[in-house]
Amino acid sequence: KQEVTQIPAALSVPEGENLVLNCSFTDSAIYNLQWFRQDPGKGLTSLLLIQSSQREQTSGRLNASLDKSSGRSTLYIAASQPGDSATYLCAVNPGRGAQKLVFGQGTRLTINP
Amino acid sequence: DAGITQSPRHKVTETGTPVTLRCHQTENHRYMYWYRQDPGHGLRLIHYSYGVKDTDKGEVSDGYSVSRSKTEDFLLTLESATSSQTSVYFCAISPDSYGYTFGSGTRLTVV
């Protein structure tokens, strides 16, 4: 059974710092991996999707990497801002077609002005 | 979220009563999903649909049923609500193997 772990569960950093969020998964047979953002009381917003054949994806100040063989992904946030405060979740998709995502429990990020 | 709406947004119900949550999309996406989100467990898949009248179970399907009679609507029914089903329920849609859009969620409390 696929298990996804995110460490740390919470992270607090001052504004302007670069930071890395970690995600690990137990089964390397994945189709893709996604990073989501969730604001309090809201739904999830997709940030980045990495196919199993890719090593990284970038969107603005965000960069996600994938090392499928070691079962790890990282989300790098550059020059953090208070608006980046949210919970970040990673999810693995085990196969084609219906995306039966398996989620980690998330990292709650706080950026202090 | 644009293209996907959930109703109701909040509901309080009594143990043993049936409850139906609705997910409506305007994107004409093939796949629709129901997840629940609980502290300590994260998001877990309840049921999903891959077309009209085509549904399958997810990880935590016991006590839940679903129906999809039209492309745009996916209903989640708690046949006899229990306190363990108190949770936040999210619907999601995707066109294929890429891209995922979540609804804003339904907060359900079973008393």
Instruction: Return the pLDDT at A94.
Output: 86
Comparing A96 with A34, the larger pLDDT belongs to A34
Interchain contact A54–B (C-beta under 8 A) = no
Q: Residue B6: closest CA among chain A residues belongs to which residue?
A: A43
Instruction: Return the pLDDT at B30.
Output: 93
Considering CB atoms only, which of A42, A98, A105 is closest to B104?
A42
Give the residue from A50, A99, A102 with the most B CB atoms within 10 Å of its CB, the best one to mutate. A99
Position B87 pLDDT exceeds 80: yes
Interchain contact A83–B (C-beta under 8 A) = no
For residue A31, which phi and psi values (nearest 5 degrees)? -95, -45
Chain A closest-CA separation from residue B77 CA (Å): 20
pLDDT, averaged across chain B: 94
pLDDT in tens, A5-31: 999 999 999 999 999 999 999 999 999
**DSSP string over B16-70:** T--EEEEEEESS--SEEEEEEEETTTEEEEEEEEEETTEEEE-TT-TTEEEEEEE
Position B60 pLDDT exceeds 80: yes
Instruction: Return the pLDDT at B59.
Output: 92
pLDDT in tens, A62-110: 999 999 999 999 999 999 999 999 999 999 998 877 778 999 999 999 9
Q: Token digits for A31?
A: 């189709």
